Amino acid sequence: MVKNPRYREKFSGEEAIKMIVEKIVIRNMELSVEDEEQFEDSGVEYVKKEVEGYETESRRKSASELVRSLLEQHAVETTKAMSQYVVQCLEMYSKDPVNNWRAKDAAQFMVTSLSVVASVQKLGVTVTNNLVDINEFYSKYMEMHLNDIGSDTNSLILKTDAIKFVYVFRNQLNVDKIVAATPKLIQHLGHPNVAVSTFAAVALERLLVLKRDNRVVIDGQSVGGDYGGAITDLVFNQLEKSPSAEKMAENEFYMKLIMRTTVTTFINDRAKISSQPSLVVMAKLCMVVDLVSKNPSNPKFNHYLFETISLLLSRISPATCADIEALLFPRFEYILQNQVAEFMPYVFQLLSVLVRAKTALNEATDRTYLSLLQPLLQPALWESSGNVPALTELLQSYLSVGASLLVSGGMMPAILGIFQKLLSTKQSELYAFDLLTAIVCFVDISVLSPYLKAVFTLILSRLQQQQQQASSSSSSSSHPTPSRLLRNFVLFIAVFSSINAHSLVDLFNSIQPNLLSNLVSNLIAPNIPSALIASTNKQNDCKLLVHGYLSLLACPPFFSSLSQSGNSALVVALISSLVNLLQDPVLIVKNTSSSSTATGTGAATSTATSTSDSSYPSLDDDSSDLSATVFQASFVKLSSIRVYRPSDHIITRNSLLNSTDQNLLFASDLKSLISNSPISDGNAFMNSCLSQLPQDISHLVNTYLLLLP
């Protein structure tokens, strides 16, 4: 009501505001007995309440919201009235700090309530009351509580107040004050009171990602010394003091700080981590895994724990690989043998990183890795939906560095059995195509030939089943979005064609003559633009679609069958669909920003574009998906591990695909098809097809062709 402009006059005037502040606000800003008891008895829960606002209906919170509402319409009057009580409380404290410490706690809370106009939990305070000098208040009244770790023995809440002040106003305090506070906060990580040390961890974790003028505020140059080592030593000491694994895991803030410190201090500009810090930290992390794996209890703590391990793994050097494996494998073995379901998806993700660190699996030196393969192929392991994404990526990793060993070991039937299982349900069909893509990318086509007919028969049966279900449901939309299965099928055919279009044509002809041309006409061509709907790398997938389907057109048996039957409609539909694909707004924006001279059609010239999915993932904010706060055995992606895409190997191994953007690739492949017909006397058929293109598509095709030198 007080912030509604309609009632502004009812609350205007200094006396009215003063009465509201005195009778309502001030009385409800005093520290409650319950807060004091929680501070002493359950320090971590106290910090959670203060940081995350668990007690949304507390008296203090309601009073603070009332102050914020008053500030919207009566900023000057409210600030003046509140400031008088702040001064009174500070004077009471100065007269008797031992007995009147609650008055200073109230003063700090009043100043915070009076200063914060707008805030975002991840970013902190974004707008403040310009009538309050935050830096002056911190220097005069808050900083003193951080100067000596042994101070305030009878009023430790004032220490947490000072730490919270730095945390809340980290964006408003001057850089010199932030830099000066950091070593003090590090020191307070070792405080015997868990609330104080935990609040120090919360504040430091946010300060380590704080930026001013696009530069990190806290680094080795500004703080000096091995501050990263000091942080991890103190936090691990606190964890080791925990009376039980359950109590240790309660404090996710400690583990989150270790994760953040690993990012900001041990990983420097994507360089390899120096061996000694990484091994020391890894050994301590393994100690924590030993304890919490016996009875996992806090999913956030566990995620930050494994995120930190994956960060270290992502930057290991060959020199430290054996030492890292010696630390991790006993823990992996315990988790897998005892079926610690909550941790198994994490183990599979970490194993994927270790496997891909190998240039090739060696039967003599990598027996531990190879011995895991047979257990990983057991169907029971794939029954848990939480295991499936990580297991799929792990099998992809094995195929990328050891396909020949898997083939010689007779494992292909079992791997294809896993594919069949994944394809059988809508929830896992995406992973079926991920696995199949890795198989065709890394296993020789001659080895796969005996199995491929059955594989494609399964896919086509599944597609037919879904198409029939979609038809029977009679969707109200005249243009329903293609199913995920269909989109993955369209992309997979392009991948296969990019690798070996001739084998693809022969395969479909062995199932049924003209089956492939019918599929392209009726199912594939209309849905090519939709294949990028859920793509994690639209540029790379667009390249595969363009190159794959133009390679299919350029395949002599396929082109010959089209020419002989006069099936120009298929060629027109396919080229039109690829042109529409290139008009995807995201692709146009990326092309325009990455190089180039844009045309009115969205076509653009470009130099080489990156083939990787993304740069090293940032953990500056809570990028990890921790929505499953109710503990359960589910898959949570480790943010520090890049998404693994075997199809990208096709691009990196092909110089044309690797160095050319999708627009130039389309122009180059199409020009090659026009100039060098796959069959004799095929030019006339191709020119006839091009002449039948719709006018807008024809204009775009010519625009792309003009991009060629």
Cis peptide bond N-terminal to 596, omega within 30: yes
**How far is C-alpha 357 from the chain's CA centre?**
21
Q: Answer yes or no: are the C-beta atoms of 492 and 437 closer than 8 Å.
A: yes
Q: Which residues pair with 211 in a beta bridge?
A: 216
Tens of pLDDT along 550-586? 999 999 999 999 999 999 999 999 999 999 999 988 7
Using only C-alpha atoms, the chain has a radius of gyration, in whole angstroms, of 32
Cα separation, 83 vs 373, in Å, equals: 69
Written as six digits, the tokens of 226 are: 């091995």
Tell me which residue of 513, 482, 535, 562 sits closest to 645, measured CA to CA. 535
Distance between CA atoms of 361 and 402, rounded to whole angstroms?
5
Instruction: Classify the phi-psi angles of 402: left when phi > 0, otherwise alpha if psi is within -120 to 50, otherwise beta.
Output: alpha
pLDDT of residue 634: 72
Q: Is 72 left (phi over 0), alpha (psi -120 to 50) or beta?
A: alpha
- Tell me the residue ranges of DSSP E strands in 524-650: none
Three-state secondary-structure class, residue 644: coil
d(CA 195, CA 104): 18
Helix axes 538-553, 585-594, angle to 10 degrees: 110
pLDDT of residue 61: 84
**Which pLDDT score, from 0 to 100, does residue 629 have?**
38
SS3 assignment, position 106: helix
The CA–CA distances, whole Å, from 447 to 501, 537, 619, 669 equal 16, 30, 42, 29
Instruction: Report the pLDDT value the prediction gives residue 608, as an integer from 0 to 100.
Output: 29
b/e per residue 80-101 (b: at least 16 CB within 10 A): ebbeebbeebbebbeeeeeebb
Beta partners for 215? 212
Q: How many Å apart are CA 456 and CA 492, to the nearest integer?
A: 11
Q: How does strand 211-212 pair with strand 116-120?
A: unpaired
**How far apart (Å, rounded) are the C-alpha atoms in residues 434 and 254?**
36
Tell me which residues of the chain have a pLDDT lower than 70.
1-14, 53-57, 224-225, 266-277, 472-480, 588-633
Torsion, CA 359, CA 365, CA 368, CA 372, rounded to 10: 50
* Predicted pLDDT of residue 635: 83
| Cβ proximity of 639 and 603 under 8 Å | no
Decide: helix, strand or coil at residue 212: strand
Report pTM.
Answer: 0.88
What pLDDT was estimated at residue 23? 86
Contact assessment for residue 545 and residue 531, using Cβ atoms and an 8 Å cutoff: yes
Q: 448: closest CA among 459, 460, 437?
A: 437
φ, ψ for residue 289, nearest 5 deg:
-60, -45
| 3-state helix, strand and coil shares in percent for the chain, rounded to the nearest 5 | 70, 0, 30
The domain ranges of the chain are 1-188, 226-340, 482-609+661-705
Largest CA distance in the chain: 103
DSSP state of 532: G
